[in-house]
Amino acid sequence: MDRLAGQRGPCHAGPEGRIFSAGIEVGDESDLCPVFAVAFSGCDLRCDFCNTGRESWDASAGSIPEGVEREALLGRIGRAWESGAVRSLMILGGEPTIHLASALELVAALPVGLPVVWKTNAHGTSESNALLEGVFDCWVADLKFGNDDCARRVARVENYCSTVHDNLRWAAGQTRLIVRHLLLPGHLECCWRPAAAWMAEHLPRVEVSLRTGFWPGWFSSRHPELKAPGRLSEAQEATRIGIEAGLRLIQ
């Protein structure tokens, strides 16, 4: 796909990455927070439960960080790091992999010593992995589904599991990896249980962040089971499944 020639893939991204949000956040894993989160617009998946909604689906949202705007952003990041206001810098989206050149250019200009986290849907290619190797101190990677049928129905993506499993195994071999799973209501047995079993077998030492705070945003109402927030009983059962599988659950 030649973006310079005006061609667009499923993510609809152009040749230059756009940033729709940049600032300090505290909702990620505890030992990474506070983070200075830089969110690139657009994504190659179409998850109906997406918590950032329009910007994650619209690769034209936000602005291109160049010139004065880029220097201002780097200045904000540097001041936050030097003052002790943040522990790390997180590159996320949408999905940052679709803007790999822009994301890596930004990372190359960051202050020395600032830990940098790559937050990804883990749906990239082997070519993108090769360019990411050795760059980030930590990957926070989603394992959204435990089977291809749910991935196809809720996120409109084919062959989800094989792609993401391969990428998670690769990431675990080259950096610190935190696998994040958002517990979707009604998907305990079809998604979380097989995902937990797969990680127990293939990534037994990886850190697992089980997120139980689902709320029905964006197009969640397209799916009957996703019309209401997550239930406490499911969260408790999901935690039990993770513990029994021997996973390294973290907060």
Q: What is the pLDDT of residue 224?
A: 98
Question: Three-state DSSP class for 73?
Answer: helix
Q: How many C-beta atoms surround the C-beta of residue 14 within 10 A?
A: 17
Question: How far is residue 77's CA from residue 71's CA, in Å, rounded to a whole number?
Answer: 10
Q: Please tell me the total number of residues recorded for the chain in this structure.
A: 251
pLDDT single digits (tens) 80-124: 999 999 999 999 999 999 999 999 999 999 999 999 999 999 999
CB 62 within 8 A of CB 9: no
Per DSSP, 77 falls in state H
Q: What is the pLDDT of residue 13?
A: 66
Question: Where does residue 177 fall: left (phi above 0), alpha (psi -120 to 50 degrees), or beta otherwise?
Answer: beta
Q: What is the pLDDT of residue 1?
A: 57
Q: What are the helix (H) ranges across 12-138?
A: 54-57, 67-82, 100-108, 126-132
List strand residue ranges (DSSP E) for the chain, in order. 19-25, 35-40, 88-92, 116-120, 138-142, 176-182, 207-211, 248-250
Question: Three-state DSSP class for 71?
Answer: helix
Q: How many domains does the chain have?
A: 1
pLDDT single digits (tens) 20-35: 999 999 999 999 999 9
Q: How many C-beta atoms surround the C-beta of residue 234 within 10 A?
A: 18
CB 193 within 8 A of CB 82: no
Question: How far is residue 154's CA from residue 162's CA, in Å, rounded to a whole number?
Answer: 17
Supply 190's token pair: 């079809």
Q: What is the pLDDT of residue 155?
A: 97
Question: How far is residue 221's CA from residue 227's CA, in Å, rounded to a whole number?
Answer: 5
Low-confidence ranges of the chain (pLDDT < 70): 1-15
Q: Residue 82 maps to which CATH number? A: 3.20.20.70
Give Dmax over CA atoms of the chain in angstroms: 52
pTM score of the predicted model: 0.95
Structural domain that includes position 159: 3-250
Q: What is the pLDDT of residue 3?
A: 52
